[in-house]
Structure 1
């Protein structure tokens, strides 16, 4: 990848596109004509392969009826396990450690119900004050179910500046009262990437179970969950993995915990060979498959089959290389073109602390996002003042980035944003 130099021209952006080693992967996606899509950190674009496999699964129901569970090209009964094998390369997992199941929220409940086992003075759960709300809601719920007051037993590590969380502050909060830690791999507002390896080692040195919410990182950066000895993790598959709206989610459980009965069980927690015995004594599956609860949602899984095929055409390391390069390019353009226009870059600037989106703060963020959409650019707004822009490595071009920054400049200079109200939509 060509090094970034202080050249802010459109011609230079086109040169970067020409040098992009994974530029051909954009052809795998259905990019709406006339649109610059900068919201792939909320919902990835549909790929041609995802569309194909979605219709293939619809056809299998039509032609095979109930036999589709065990027959045909993609037997439904074994789909979660088949896809788990493809997924594990993206998170650095050993065989059996990944399960395609549930949603982000249900998987948090499942894993916390399993690994939060308060005993003695260890009764508290640790998170951060910048976590995505669903994580906090689930942790509060699990504390209540165990008879604890979330106001006193949920420790939320404070941010020093409202943007990032310092790893030193997280480690300092790892007291002997902490029974479980759940942290984001990446903070959803600022895009800060936490040091997963370091935090896992520090938690284990203190006898604390630790897990991670990887919704804003899986598919954008390499992970090495097994090598780092992470206890558990979970993530959605509709952002950087492009599995479609409401796509089935995923979870990871370290093999050292295999054989443990999950906190929430159902008939899909069973060993496959015993599942249809209809015995009231559960034979727990000896993999992360045990953390499934109910029947897999086949049509929710279907697009993910094709979506994951795209990741086999490259490597997660190549994706990360472009992601770092194109986000740095966007930040440099912003700093040059938007100076004095009220914008602040909220991302960490260091490569090792930055994930896949650029976080821009501005007092008029809501109205700016509305103006961007009128200019055929799809951004994302996050309260109270953040415009999130995601130049996704698989399908965003450097020319897209250049045009986005130029339009942002026009929106402010020409005061286009003043033509919109500051009322947030139901879905930000």
Structure 2
């Protein structure tokens, strides 16, 4: 890729900030004074709008009491559906194909239990060796529930280098024994973006259902799930979408699958007009709303209302444009400033294969992360040796990136890391 700069000065970084079309959105967030926050791929910052809608929801409980379910500006009963249009715009779907519900893990169980219907020779599930653990645990659990041994029936595509997964290897593993595929959109360690459109087409050509875990991409990268004919997808809303810690998640189901009874049902799977009839025969909702199970977590959804408003002030395509530019700027600074210091860039260099975060390997990664925090830079550590740095388009500045790279240099040159132990914290 062509370099975007030959000027590695702080003054040039400030010029880039001056030209940044999204710079004004930083004012929407609470960025702690003196802090450089580069962990938005793990937990996004709180916005002023999210704070407002959270407080408004508390007020609705105070003033509406139980009538808040059906009255007020945002009736709780329809709250998940009311946000579907805004969320659908970020993943390229129709509003009825998206629902705000559950958590990443419960949504994996919900969707896989629905679409994994082994029959004949098709009894296996495919994933990769580099998946986030919760995906693997859930798939293993679903196989056991159907009476299969995960050791033989969970096919994990191997990485050639321990960092990335080649699409050719995934396609080669799409045998006639595979029933369902679940893949990450972006690998959580290396930040590799998979070719979702290509993999979906290849799976369907072989009669395989395919879904994606978009936790590390939704809110940072445009997706077009409906146009690509993806069968199902799921994602959390507390990373790039800034919905708050442990916030409610989301899922997508292609409308061609509407009418199917979800694998896990509850009273919120019901058609809304029938839900309070209290019948024991479920009338399944004919939208992605059918994949809800229980009563929505109103105060978990509340900050997401405000968080999504910010995405309506721009477009996901503009967000991706800045994300690619600022992450490439960081890559170029790293290549220029950090040679010989033990750092290794582990994410793809090509724009079309790179997600929203930088993956920087180092033998002293744990101690470097501790030293970064001492320098008021918030990174993320991932075992065994990865420092993850996310220059989030909505609130990270180019000056933040410049300063971070200088700090990374000083941590090694001045041996600042030696002041810390190499023990991982409970939450890395």
Range of TM-score over shorter length: over 0.9
Structure 2 counterpart of 1:124: 124
Structure 2 counterpart of 1:255: 255
Structure 1 counterpart of 2:333: 333
Q: Secondary structure at the match of 1:30?
A: coil
* Residue 67 (structure 1) shift: 0.2
Q: Secondary structure at the match of 2:317?
A: helix
Does the CA-based 8 Å contact 2:5-2:329 persist in structure 1? no
* Residue 95 (structure 1) shift: 2.9
1:241-291: CA deviations, max 9, x gaps?
000001000000000000000000000000000000000000000000000
Distance in 2 of aligned mates of 1:6 and 1:43:
33
Structure 2 counterpart of 1:20: 20
Q: Secondary structure at the match of 1:44?
A: coil
Does the CA-based 8 Å contact 2:85-2:94 persist in structure 1? no
Does the CA-based 8 Å contact 2:129-2:157 persist in structure 1? yes
Equivalence map 1:97-108=2 (5 Å): 97-108=97-108
Structure 1 gaps, min length 5: none
Q: Secondary structure at the match of 2:274?
A: helix
Structure 1 counterpart of 2:45: 45
Structure 2 counterpart of 1:184: 184
1:295 matched to 2:274? The reply is no
* Residue 97 (structure 1) shift: 0.1
Does the CA-based 8 Å contact 2:187-2:216 persist in structure 1? yes
Count of equivalent residues:
427
Structure 2 counterpart of 1:60: 60
Structure 2 counterpart of 1:226: 226
**Root mean square deviation of aligned Cα:** 0.8
1:380 matched to 2:380? The reply is yes
Distance in 2 of aligned mates of 1:292 and 1:95:
15
Following TM superposition, the consecutive aligned residue runs of length 4 or more in structure 1 with deviations greater than 6 angstroms are none
Distance in 2 of aligned mates of 1:107 and 1:233:
9
Distance in 2 of aligned mates of 1:388 and 1:187:
12
Q: Secondary structure at the match of 1:273?
A: coil
TM-score under structure 1 normalisation?
0.99
Distance in 2 of aligned mates of 1:397 and 1:10:
12
Structure 2 gaps, min length 5: none
1:208-250: CA deviations, max 9, x gaps?
0000000000000100000000000000000000000010000
Does the CA-based 8 Å contact 2:50-2:303 persist in structure 1? yes
Distance in 1 of aligned mates of 2:84 and 2:340:
48
Q: Secondary structure at the match of 1:272?
A: coil
Structure 1 counterpart of 2:6: 6
